[in-house]
Chains A and B, each alone.
Chain A
């Protein structure tokens, strides 16, 4: 774990580099490689995920770093030609199933899945989670434009013989994936809040900036409270990493996304409803991110079911 000061410095430099890359239309993955992203991920995975994905959220950069996070958590050396199959939208179960020697899988892939030589797939089996690498040639892959064509997601499915299944820590991969996506949502929420705040201070109506009006101020305050709470939840999930804290942080991210997009869009009003203002990119990106590794609604229900099943409410974090 690195200290807070070092983390702040790294966050600033990564964010700056990614912002430049996005502005110049450079490849964001190549920029991350220049920043020694894979070394950071190997040495300090919990810090690296926070720093890089928060910056991706803030800059709206489209990268495939999520494949690296998952590959590393699944015990593989991350490399640009190895993609990882993500669970289907709004779900988090392993995307693969093994039955009668056959492996069937269906899920999502980042932009990397379209060009990689191999795909790493986690499957649920009777004896726990297993993973295997399949050649890209066996997969059927289709680009998903959806609400945010720039995010690079693909629908992936295939059937092949189940060979070389290796036992993996599926819970670790899920936890890291959730934290990564939640950090990306956090970065985007900060940016949306920033855009709405800037607009409220510049936009003049009734003889002055609309930031004078309490109705506007309280919406921005509400969005800020939610974003700060999300950051605290993510810090707690970084300091006490585990499946539970990551799931809770992802649920907080989904709730925060809802609060921030609603209030920021209302404050931005007409201009925020156009593609001439950048708000729509963050709105659309976070709508997609909310569904990766389980929506907040689904996680909230799952967490609640577990509490009721065990009749136990653990406090999880201590002073």
Chain B
């Protein structure tokens, strides 16, 4: 077994999507052994993270990681849909966890759009090549669905917001995914008055080894420590690490939405198809299975159709907005439908099986319960749909 991938003739970034997809898949076929996980399934989170970074590094070396990213951060250019195809192909082959891999989509664009250009050029390649992991410090104990109430405080150490050369950060974040693995954090802080809501927020790009930062991982219901609490105690950050303008942090946070709701979802959908395939591989061939599997497949079809339409709209118009709350509701409910089918059709597998298959299904079944909670709860999505899309006016 070779330890490095075999060379290939890379497609032009302007190549039609089907051609790019075909060449990518051919390359992934040839290099499957080099790329495949080296631990037995299902693997631990440590193993998943290490696997993802190894795959990113191999893909970067071979030139695939650079597609769809602008040249100013070392990319090869081309449509962002090329990135989406790559992430989906990795998910479909179980080469990288889509939840972990697609974090690139909510972190790198932020740096490209809001960081000083020389900072973006320095750090984005580190993320793409698997040399670094980053995390997103948004939620707080008192700012979950109501993100605009966040309180983690940043104050200028010298002068005022316009002239300060350094800022001091104090406060706490929670549900910060992969904080304990990360070298950097995209952090939202309160810089205006406490009641300034979305106007008084500033985003920083913080090195996680800065003195005063401590990370306490939290165990999730599936036993993994994917997210953490992060504490900031007199953490000093240079002013050139502000993303966007002081007070412009809400725009930074909102800019993530189009990528999260297009590329990340397409990767998640590819993963859901693999899980339905796994279920179909082992489910008993009876009417109950036919109903449950058919129901999940019908939902997946509508979801995939919706997600495709969303990505083409993004590619054509350059923007998507509140209507992606529909995609979010669909992806969350479909994920739960798929794993509900697993529990229905494989009695005892999730609940009692201590073998590898049991571990995998249990872990992922339990994780699927969070689908209607993270990234904006199902209720918040429906509130957005009611107000912004159906224009039902103010709530009582």
Contacts and interface: CB of A to CB of B under 8 A. Distances in A.
B14 to A, nearest CB: 16
B257 interface: no
B266 interface: yes
B385 interface: yes
A311 interface: yes
Contacts of B304: 236, 315-317
B118 interface: no
B379 interface: yes
B289 A304 contact: yes
A303 B290 CA distance: 7
Q: Is the interface of B mostly helix, strand, loop or mixed?
A: helix
A319 B273 contact: no
A251 B298 contact: yes
A203 interface: no
A2 interface: no
Interface string B353-396: 00000000000000000000000000101110111011011111
Contacts of A212: 393-396
Given A224-B390, A309-B285, A301 B291 contact: yes
Contacts of A252: 298, 301-302
Interface stretch (B106-114, B245-253, B275-283): B275-283
Contact of B294 (A228, A230, A300): A300
Contacts of B350: none
A228 B393 contact: no
Interface stretch (A26-34, A41-49, A115-123, A213-221): A213-221
Interface stretch (B129-137, B180-188, B217-225, B305-313): B305-313
B294 A214 contact: no
Interface string A72-98: 000000000000000000000000000
Interface residues of A, number: 49
Nearest to B389: A224
A305 B289 CA distance: 8
B266 A319 contact: yes
A317 B18 CA distance: 12
Given A201-B393, A217-B387, 17 more contacts: A208-B396, A214-B395, A217-B395, A221-B381, A221-B386, A221-B390, A224-B390, A233-B306, A235-B305, A236-B301, A245-B301, A303-B298, A307-B297, A315-B273, A317-B304, A317-B305, A317-B308
Interface of A: 197, 200-201, 206, 208-209, 211-214, 217-218, 220-222, 224-225, 228-230, 232-233, 235-236, 245, 248-249, 251-252, 255, 296, 299-305, 307-309, 311-313, 315-319
